[in-house]
């Protein structure tokens, strides 16, 4: 999704459908509640966009395009840092509290991080994925996070 076709869901020239909205949000690992907070609307508004009861505003499509760009950059950096390791590994997080405790600077939800890890796993053969708490408690070998 990093490169959108002229008629893609994040294209400037047309309205985003509710189906496109949901697909992009799920691809990015974004929850409705997180997105509502991020774009400054009530959670019910995001529900209305998902159901097609209200059109997805241009500003939300722009915000999603920006999030996709940042997500792609994060994936690229992770792939670059893991690609040459003999036993590449990465940690992820079960919930938002766990993710925020480890990465207080990040404003994203844990579901976003898991979606990123899934994309990294597509690019890094043999990638080992573990929950951060499992690494601490079970000494699972993880090379990078």
Q: Tens digit of pLDDT for each residue in 16-72?
A: 999 999 999 999 999 999 999 999 999 999 999 999 999 999 999 999 999 999 999
The alpha helices in the chain, defined as continuous H runs, are 18-28, 32-39, 43-51, 58-82, 96-102, 110-123, 132-138
Q: How far apart are CA 54 and CA 51, in angstroms?
A: 8
Domain 18-138 has CATH 1.10.260.40: no
Q: What is the mean pLDDT of residues 99-112?
A: 94
Question: Domain coordinates of the chain in residue numbers?
Answer: 18-138
CB contact set of 52 (below 8 Å; sequence gap of 6+)? 17, 18, 19
pTM: 0.81
pLDDT of residue 5: 43
pLDDT of residue 84: 82
Q: Is residue 141 over pLDDT 90?
A: no
């Amino acid at each position: 999704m990093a490169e959108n076709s002229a008629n893609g869901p994040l294209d400037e020239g047309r309205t985003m459908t509710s189906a496109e909205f949901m697909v992009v949000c799920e691809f990015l690992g974004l929850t409705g509640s997180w997105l509502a907070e991020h774009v400054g609307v009530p959670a019910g508004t995001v529900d209305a966009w998902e159901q097609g009861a209200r059109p997805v505003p241009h500003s939300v499509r722009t915000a999603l395009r920006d999030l996709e760009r940042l997500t792609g950059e994060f994936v690229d950096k992770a792939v670059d840092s893991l690609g040459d390791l003999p036993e590449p590994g990465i940690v992820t997080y079960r919930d938002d509290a766990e993710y925020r405790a480890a990465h207080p600077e990040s404003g994203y939800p844990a579901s976003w991080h898991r979606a990123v890890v899934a994309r990294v796993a597509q690019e890094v053969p043999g990638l080992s994925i573990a929950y951060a708490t499992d690494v601490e408690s079970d000494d699972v070998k993880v090379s990078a996070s």
